Each structure stands twice: as structure tokens, then as C-alpha cells.
Copies of this chain bind each other. A is one copy, B any other.
Amino acid sequence: MNFDDKVPIYYQIENYIYHEIITGTLKPGEKLPSVRQLAVDVTANVNTVQRALSEMIAAEMIESKRGRGNFVTMDTTKIDQLKVKLVTTQLERVYEQLHALNLSDEEIVTSLQHYIQQRGQAK
């Protein structure tokens, strides 16, 4: 994992795991790698990983079972809601930023289309 350095690492780890849950790399009910393994995977400290997990446990996206490990929630509704929330957050962000740069609604959409097109050709 590459760290951004502008936002806290625990926050990035959180997002990283949320992505894995949403994309199904981590399935509902599946056991997460151990805290120590995750720390190695993302090259961060165990405590930092622990902090990320704590927040996800508080949000009930992950369930912790003493001595056995951490597990992805079985509640697929929760997972769906999470996806919607993450997507909306992203869209809101671009929209507001580009709008603040004086792009009209249409320009925002077309600039995105151009970006994607350009990106496709770059391959």
C-alpha cells in the first residue's frame, strides 16, 4: 500500500479494507487476515492497524471475536449502504471542487468523459 502522507495512515487502511469488502475480495462473514499480518501487508504498525479496525468495529462493518480474529459483517445491507456512501462521497467531492472552479454541470460531465477517453488511449 502506498501512503498519501496527507491523510492519517489509519484512515487509509480503513478505506483500503472497505474497498476490499465492497469489491468482494473480502466476503461477508469472511475472516480478515490477523492484525499482525495486516500490519505486514500494509507496512504499518500493529497499533495503527488496530486503530483502523476499531473504527470499523464501531461502525459494525467488522466483528471482533476474542482470540479468534476479526470478521466481515454478515449483514450485506450494511455493505451495500457503505458502497453507496463511498460512491456518493466521491461524487460530491469532485462535483463541488469542479463547480468551485467555475465549471458548469455540463462541463463537469464532459471533462470526465474526456478524461476517461484520454485515459483509454493512454493504454
Residues of A in contact with B (beta carbons under 8 Å apart): 5-9, 11, 19, 22-24, 45, 58, 66-67, 83, 86-88, 90-95, 97-98, 100-103, 105, 108-109, 111-113, 115-116, 119-120
Contact = CB atoms under 8 A, between A and B. Distances in A.
Contacts of A95: 112, 115-116, 119
Which of A83, A90, A105, A120 has the largest number of chain B CB atoms within 10 A?
Answer: A90
Copies held by the complex: 4
A119 B95 CA distance: 10
B91 A112 contact: yes
A23 B101 contact: yes
A45 B8 CA distance: 21
Contact of A98 (B45, B66, B90): B90
7 contacts: A6-B7, A23-B102, A24-B102, A87-B98, A87-B103, A90-B93, A95-B116
A102 to B, nearest CB: 5
Contacts of A6: 7-8, 11
Contacts of A113: 109
